[in-house]
Structures are given as C-alpha cells and as structure tokens.
Chain A
Amino acid sequence: MTEIPQKWDETFDIIIVGAGNSGLPAAYSAVKAGANVVVLEQMPCPSGSFTRMAGWVNQAGTELQKKMGIEDSPEIMYRDFVEVCRPARPVNLEVVKNYCKKTQEIYPFLEQYGAKCLGIHLTAGASRPRGHIYSGVETLKALHKAAQEVGAHILFKHKVVDLYRDPATGRFVGLKVRVRRGEYLNFRAKKAIILASGATLDNPMLVWEYGSYRHVSLCCPEARGHTGEIIKVLTRMGIPIRYPGTHIYASVPLDYNTRHPLSHTLLIWWAGAILVNINGVRFINEDEKLFPTVGEACFLQPDAISFVVFDQTLYDIIVRDVPQIDWKYFRPYKANTLKELAEQMGVPADNLIKEVNEYNEDIKKYGYDRKFGRRKCLLFDKPAIPIEKPPFYAVKGISGLTSTRGGVMINERGQVLDLDERPVPGLYAVGELATGGLFRDGNYICGTHTGFAISYGFIVGEIVAKEG
C-alpha cells in the first residue's frame, strides 16, 4: 500500500475521477448539494465514451414518450432489465431500481442544457421504445456546461495514478495525480472519492489480460480515455473487479473502409438490412433480442467481417428515421444489381443473390424469414421489408470492441464493495466502472450504460455530498 503523504497539495470535499458522462453529473449534483468538488480528467477535454456511442439513452416515463403515445414507466423498465440482463446475485437490485427511477430526470435536464433529443427507438432487449436518441457530443457538452455553471472545478490533464488508503481505518483519503512528466500532486478528499473513470478498453494490455488475443486485433470504437489506471490500482489494493474478462465484447462492427468510431453498422441492420458474411451467406436473425448474440456472431465470422446489405427503400428510411447515422462516416458499396454489388463486396454473387431472393420471398409470403425467423425491423418495431428496390447498398463491417460489462460492485448508495460485500469507506463508483455484475453473461439492453452513467452520477453525487 502506498504510504499517505505528509503534506497535501490540494484539499476538496469530494474528488471525482473522470470528466465524462457519469463524473460530470456527479459533480453537478454534489455541488448543488453544497460540497466543494473537483473533477480530475487525464485528457485535455471532457471525454466520455458518449462521444462515440450508437446514440441511445434509455429513459422510462419521459414527457417525450407520453407525447408520442408510448406507455412506459420505471417499473416496466426495471422488469425488462431484470428479465434480460439477469443481474447476478450479490448485485443489489436497489441499484437497478434507483437507476430506472432516476432516468426520467435525464430528458428535461439535457433539454435544459441544450442537448436535443432526436426521437425514440426501440432498442434490442427493451419491451417498448425508450431509447432516446442523442448526439453524443451534444450530450457531453450539456453535462459539461451544467457542471461548470454550478461551479465544479474541472482540471484537465490531471491523471490519477494512485489512491491513498489510511492503513488504520481502511478509508480512502486521497489520490496521487500526474500533472506532467515527472510532476505529481497529492489531492486530499475530505468526504469521499468518486470513481467515474470508465473501463479498460483503451489499454491493450488490459484488453489482452481480460479478453483474448483476437480482441486485441480489433478496432475500439466506444471507449474514450478508458486507460484502466484505476482498475490496475484497485486490483493491486484487493478490491474485486467483477467479470471484466468475459465481458469484453466485440459487439459493434464498424465500417471496414473508414473505421470511424461513429460508423456503427448495427444501426443499419436494426433498421431493416440483412447481415451476410464474406461467403455471402446470412448467419443470424438480425433482430435477435439479445444484443450480444448478434454482436458475437459477427465477431465469429471469418476475419470478423460482416456485411449489411440493403436497398434504396431502406436507405431513404434510414435518412429519415435514424438521425444518428451520418453517411459521411460510411463508405457503402452501391450497385444497380445484386451481382455487381457482390463483385464490389468481393463475395460470391450466386450466394448473395440466392440469400436475398429467399429472404424476399419469405418476407412477402409468410411475413417472416424461414431461415432464422426474422419478423421485424427492430428500431421501428415494424414488419421486416424485402430488399428489392435498386440501387442496392452494402457496408463492410469489422467487429470492434465497445463497452465492458464488468467492473467494481456497488451498493445502492454507490459505495464500492470489497470481497465480503462490505462497503469500502470513502470510495464510490459510478458509470461504466460500476457495472460489475449487473449484466450476467453480458446480456444487455442497448442504451443501458448511457442512462446508467448519467442517472447514477446524479444519485451518487447527491448522496456523497449530503452524507459522505
């Protein structure tokens, strides 16, 4: 254990590690509740994974849902979560309840600070449409503005490299911060430290440690500044990190030709396109409710490559109804016949034509495809449509790492738990780092991390400031 320094350079009531989409709301609510708060961020700007998300924040019972005639409530959301994600016992279900309840407040809050909601989608795993669509950067801007306006100190280029723990009481009392090369400061936290530092995906050594060599060779679209320093320190201190390994999922293919972090091809297949591999053959029901199943299937195809194939009808629908897709990040293949398209994609034309024809016939004749049983275009909750109006399009995708489904375990107050499920004094966690055990087997409702990050940020910030 690192010895506690004789002299502290800075002292605050609450220190938050990470200026992202859980750290900033935590800072906001802690300052509102009267605490003196500092946020430490290793990057030169606020840097949530939000800036690269597919675009949904799950919220239940918002004004917008009511306006659109969607009946939803935190109770239904809670039921969905438990059914789909099946949190492993000893996860405290109060955490999930609190999260579901708090999501209602996100929508008006973001609206107030200038992040517009662009619509609502049904997301994989949810029983009704509650994926509120946002631009990641706009959301981060809004949260940043909110924290700044109430007067939270936000220090950039401050990288936390170690935590100090009082050996006598076991309490976390401060942390060591690298300001620049060879220059370190010691920050003391009078009340508590809130960790909002995300997971491990920006650190290849940890991806390798918890994932596999196959994961190391993939792109990494969603993490932002998740270098895993905190996870390393916690591991050294004996704080358990739950399931970081099996939960490094390669679930979101990106456009192979641009590899842009925002070229999520899942948005296209959920809007109604079909997925084929490099042999031109479909391999899964694209609307499978368990999101990781499809992601894993794409990852397991030869070379981790998958194509989404669609036509002009769907292209128009996407332009109209999937606002988070920006075509400048994609480089789709385009051709007037499927044969030419297959040539451009480099897949056997016979296979592709056969697959598409079979799919079209089934959809028209039976209303579902007989090969895998697809019935719907998931995002809009509408019947699947045939792929027949030229020109045809295809986007080549290569699987990428997205978010992790593991981390430390927290109780309903956000306190980090040790191996005996006892809260560690002075240490709290929110955001992606705090999702340990919430998603058993990686089962996951799209848009959960995002809503969880913001809502639990609010909750924990307030609790710590009031009681800490």
Chain B
Amino acid sequence: MPVIVDREKCVGCGWCITVCPNEAIEWAEKEPYDCIAEVIPEFCNDCGKCIEWCRYFAIKKLT
C-alpha cells in the first residue's frame, strides 16, 4: 500500500522528496506560493523512507 501525506501537517520542507528513491513524491501547490508534498501512488513501492525522515509526522501508511 502506498503512503499518504497529511495536507495539514505537511509544511513543504521537501525532505521526503529528496530521500525518495523512486521519485514517487512531488511538489504540489497547496495555495498560491505555498507548496507541499504529494505522493504519486503508482510509483510508491512502500519502502517507508519518507516516513522515517519526516520531521512533522505528516506521512502515513495507508492501511
């Protein structure tokens, strides 16, 4: 199961995007001039690296 980003908790620091080995997370515009992370489910192989690195506890596994 892919992971999901909590839109409220994510501050858009980008750490998950840089650590994702699969290019499965991208920036998405939340509101003008403010971006957060967004998972592209078909590329996510569920390795969990992004969850490990997120300092805002904003990424969860879908169960």
Tell me if B33 and A219 are in contact (CB < 8 A).
Answer: no
A45→B18 contact, CB < 8 A: no
Cα distance, A9 to B18, chains bound together (Å): 26
Number of chain A residues whose Cβ lies closer than 8 Å to a Cβ of chain B: 29
Per-residue CB proximity of B9-20 to A under 8 Å, as 1/0? 001111101110
Closest to A51 in B: B33
What is the distance, in angstroms, from B42's C-beta to the closest C-beta of chain A?
Answer: 10
Complex-state Cα separation, A259 to B57, whole angstroms: 11
Whose C-beta in chain B lies nearest to the C-beta of A138? B33
Residues 23 to 37 of chain B near chain A (Cβ within 8 Å): 23, 27-29, 32-35
Partner of B11, one of A217, A225, A227, A260: A260
Say yes or no: is B60 at the interface (Cβ < 8 Å to chain A): no
B23 to chain A, nearest CB (A): 5
A44 touching B33 in the complex, CB below 8 Å, given contacts A227-B14, A261-B11: no
Determine if B19 and A204 form an interchain contact, defined as CB atoms under 8 angstroms apart: yes
Give every chain B residue within 8 A of A141 (Cβ-Cβ): 32-33
**B32 (CB) vs chain A CBs: closest residue:** A45
Is A43 close to B, CB under 8 A? yes
Contact check, A137 vs B55: say whether CB atoms are below 8 A apart.
no
**Judging by beta carbons under 8 Å apart, are B14 and A202 in contact?**
yes
The residues of B that contact A224 with a CB separation of less than 8 Å are 12, 35
Q: Once bound together, how far apart are the Cα atoms of A116 and B34, in whole Å?
A: 20
Q: Which of B19, B28, B34 contacts A51 (CB 8 A)?
A: B34
A202 engages B35 (CB within 8 Å): no
Identify whether the interface residues of A are mostly helix, strand, loop, or mixed.
Answer: loop
Once the chains bind, are A44 and B29 in contact (CB under 8 Å)?
A: yes
Interface positions, chain A 204-262, Cβ under 8 Å from B, are 204-205, 217-220, 223-228, 259-261
Residue B23 contacts which of A181, A225, A259 (CB distance < 8 angstroms)?
A: A181
Give Cα A218 to B19, complex, Å. 16
Contacts A47-B35, A204-B15 given; indicate if A220 touches B55 (C-beta within 8 A).
yes
- Chain B residues lying within 8 Å of A304, measured Cβ to Cβ, are none
Chain B residues whose C-beta falls within 8 Å of the C-beta of A220 in the assembled complex: 13, 15, 55
A203 at the B interface (CB under 8 A):
yes
A46 at the interface (CB under 8 A from B): yes
Is A378 on the interface with B (CB-CB < 8 A)? no
In the assembled complex, the Cα of A203 lies from the Cα of B55 at a distance in Å of 13
- Against A, the Cβ 8 Å flags (1 = close, 0 = not) of B31-52 are 0111100001001000000000
Task: Assess the A45–B29 pair: CB atoms within 8 A.
Answer: yes
Interface string of A130-156 (1 = CB under 8 A from B): 000000010011000000000000000
Q: Which residue of chain A lies nearest to B29 when distances are taken between CB atoms in the complex?
A: A44
CA distance A50 to B17 in the complex (A): 21
A43 to B28, CA, bound (A): 8
Q: Does A399 contact B (CB under 8 A)?
A: no
Task: Select from chain B the residue with minimum beta-carbon distance to A201.
Answer: B13
Check A205–B19 contact: CB distance below 8 A.
yes
A141 to B32, CA, bound (A): 9
Cβ contact within 8 Å between A218 and B27 = no
Is A403 interfacial (CB 8 A cutoff)?
no
- Most-contacted residue by chain B among A43, A202, A228 (CB, 10 A): A43
Q: A205-B18, A225-B27 are in contact. Are A218 and B55 (CB under 8 A)?
A: yes
Given contacts A43-B27, A44-B28, A220-B15, contact A204 B53 (CB under 8 A): yes
Q: How far is the CB of A64 from chain B (nearest CB, A)?
A: 25
Contact of B27 among A44, A203, A204, A223 (CB under 8 A): A44
Complex CA–CA separation, A32 to B53 (angstroms)? 43
> In the complex the two chains form, what is the Cα distance from A440 to B12 in whole Å?
30
Which B residues lie within 8 Å of A260 (CB)? 11
Min Cβ gap B24→A in Å is: 9
Enumerate 10 A-B pairs (CB-CB under 8 Å) in ascending A order: A43-B35, A44-B28, A44-B29, A181-B23, A202-B17, A204-B18, A205-B18, A223-B13, A225-B14, A228-B18
Q: A181-B40, A203-B14, A224-B35 are in contact. List 12 more A-B contacts (CB 8 A).
A: A44-B35, A45-B32, A47-B33, A51-B33, A51-B34, A202-B17, A203-B15, A204-B53, A217-B55, A224-B12, A227-B18, A260-B11
Which residues of B are interface residues toward A (Cβ below 8 A)? 11-15, 17-19, 23, 27-29, 32-35, 40, 43, 53, 55-56
Nearest 6 pairs between A and B by C-beta? A202-B14, A203-B18, A44-B29, A43-B27, A220-B13, A204-B15
